Structure 1
């Protein structure tokens, strides 16, 4: 079962989201309403996903993305402001996606599932701006991708997640996840979206 730490300072919003996740079989192991509490819950609870409000009473939630990622969690940010700049900051920090608070609860639940499975979830209208922002990163001189890793990279560029990659390559899901992680490691990327951006900049995608 997917384990989630829900970080939201508005009680009614947190309650609605928490109930939707629980109904879908997603375990909300903790709730937090501040930056400090969120970090403590994530480090102690070891969640799969941190569903993170961007604006919290004691700071900007996106500033903690790197800490959550270091603790082994994927991060899906919730915000009322959907701009390419905000989405890019989330991606640059290693976040796995950004959802509007106005999104349907069913869509939010599905986004959590996708992020837990290793996919990235950004509004398609924001992707161009995110990729433009990420292309300024350092190059990948010396990285060597195997033929299978190049196949994996191509599938990532098509928007596939580990489950789809597993099916397309005819390998176990864990093997597909390993291929994805190897691609990220070799490209020096912190997310699948960033890996695709770097690969496009370096001419690794047709």
Structure 2
């Protein structure tokens, strides 16, 4: 992909982060470099879409979890507004399946917050130049997922089991899940148990945690 920006001017960055202290630290780190410029800050998906349309950034640096939605799910909407922009997702934790989803939706990369500001700075430059930037501990698995050699965790869930998982994510009890699905209590228990087995979880709470980490739940 060709570069989204001109080398004669700084890379224009829209930062989307709802935690003020994190946002301030990122701004200070990135703006130390004359070739990087924060042109707008947003704290929600809705604000990010409005600012993207107004500022036409080269790079959207997007937190994965925002008050009004999932930053990964917003990639398509952002690219519809600013097709030449590059979206780099910033996450507190990640997995190969989430990173693969970023790539599938047209994102340019996913960087874990624990990797540090220097790596983030380099990742912004790389995606602005048309490259991809995924944390090294995710990259190999991402390539395998995208080439179809390794199925994602939870890929073998049936439609009914996915429905069960979403009800678990909403905090419903097994009895309530059975009622929502219109099945007997024992059948509902079986659905829940199969979800736990397929996610390698020992409890309903762990299943929900794993599902969120893997991008199966928002």
Q: TM bucket by the smaller chain?
A: 0.5 to 0.7
2:146 to 134, 147, 166: 134
Counterpart in the other structure of 1:29: 39
**Aligned residues, how many?**
136
Output the CA distance in 2 between the equivalents of 1:3 and 1:81: 26
Is structure 2 residue 22 aligned with structure 1 residue 13?
yes
Counterpart in the other structure of 1:54: 64
Give per-residue Cα distances to partners, 1:16-63, cap 9 Å, x unaligned. 001111111211000000010001101110000000000000110111
Aligned runs of 1:1-206 on 2, under 5 Å?
1-25=10-34, 26-70=36-80, 71=82, 72-136=84-148
Q: TM-score, normalised by structure 2?
A: 0.60
Output the CA distance in 1 between the equivalents of 2:145 and 2:79: 21
Q: TM-score, normalised by structure 1?
A: 0.63
Once the two structures are TM-superposed, the CA of residue 106 in structure 1 deviates from its matched residue by 1.4
Runs of 4 or more above 4 Å deviation: none
5+ unaligned residues in a row in structure 2: which ranges? 1-9, 149-218
Output the CA distance in 2 between the equivalents of 1:14 and 1:57: 15
- Bigger Cα Rg: 2
CA RMSD of aligned residues (A): 1.2
Once the two structures are TM-superposed, the CA of residue 85 in structure 1 deviates from its matched residue by 1.0
- 1:68, 1:74 within 8 Å by CA — same for their partners in 2? no
- 3-state SS, counterpart of residue 130 of structure 2: coil
Output the CA distance in 1 between the equivalents of 2:38 and 2:18: 15
- 3-state SS, counterpart of residue 118 of structure 1: coil
- 3-state SS, counterpart of residue 131 of structure 2: coil
Output the CA distance in 1 between the equivalents of 2:135 and 2:113: 13
